[in-house]
Amino acid sequence: EVQLVESGGGLVQPGGSLRLSCAASGFTFTTYAMSWVRQAPGKGLQWVSGIGGSRSSDSTYYADSVKGRVTISRDNSKNTLYLQMNSLRAEDTAVYYCAKSAGYSYGTYFDCGGQGTLVTVSS
Amino acid sequence: QSVLIQPPSASGTPGQRVTISCSGSSSDIGTYSVSWYQQLPGTAPKLLIYSDNQRPSGVPDRFSGSKSGTSASLAISGLQSEDEADYSCAAWDDSLNGWVFGGGTKLTVL
């Protein structure tokens, strides 16, 4: 059974940093593209960043709203996806979901997601 | 504001058929497949439809998807109370080089 478990969320002041983690199990992690998708309170889903699977040479893409402030990475030896977030703003407040793509390309639909971790940016 | 446009709400009575629309552009829906996600209250999104009209195993055939040009639709027939949820469409966008979502449609079963 595919499982994705996010962690690392919490309360952080504006301008601060956080690193989110997503522990994956139940599938060959290295093969599949992975993404982070967020949902601000009462709002719709918003894609944040994606990283390709092994056949995509782990290429990365970012939404314009976070480009330059976040870095997505993966440790295939630990079956873990990361999102390093810097210079956090109030508008980054959201539940962050880890999402698995159905293929090695990040352009493939998301077939599984975690339960999310809440990031709150506030002073 | 979301790139893909969905009505904020929809409703129907048990047994009825409802349709939720999703409007995009040539750089997203017009070129790439659409997927739909169901989000029950207080839970994470779950894949409902992929590749415009395909259902993952376990999704009832009451749910169906279609696409024409730069628009897509999700249809739910034989509406049930447990279908009350938020529904969101998504597609890759090659002008943004990223995924775009609709703003979500809250379905109420009256």
Segment A84-93, tens digit of pLDDT: 999 999 999 9
Give B58-106 pLDDT, tens digit per residue. Answer: 999 999 999 999 999 999 999 999 999 999 999 999 999 999 999 999 9
Give B46-68 pLDDT, tens digit per residue. Answer: 999 999 999 999 999 999 999 99
Partners of B43 on chain A (C-beta within 8 Å) are 115
Partners of A107 on chain B (C-beta within 8 Å) are 32, 92
Show Cβ contacts of residue B77 under 8 Å, excluding neighbours closer than 6 positions. Answer: B17, B62, B64
Give the residue from A123, A111, A116 showing the smallest Cα distance to A38.
A116
Partners of B44 on chain A (C-beta within 8 Å) are 97, 113-116
Confidence (pLDDT) at B2: 77
The 3-state DSSP class for residue B76 equals strand
Show Cβ contacts of residue B2 under 8 Å, excluding neighbours closer than 6 positions. Answer: A44, B100, B101, B102, B103
Confidence (pLDDT) at B36: 98
CB-nearest partner of B44 from A106, A109, A114 = A114
pLDDT, one tens digit for every residue, chain A (123 residues): 999 999 999 999 999 999 999 999 999 999 999 999 999 999 999 999 999 988 776 789 999 999 999 999 999 999 999 999 999 999 999 999 999 999 888 789 999 999 999 999 999
- Nearest-CA residue of chain A relative to B44? A115
Neighbours of B102 (CB within 10 A): 28
The H or E element containing residue A46 is strand A45-51
Give B38's strand partners.
B46, B87
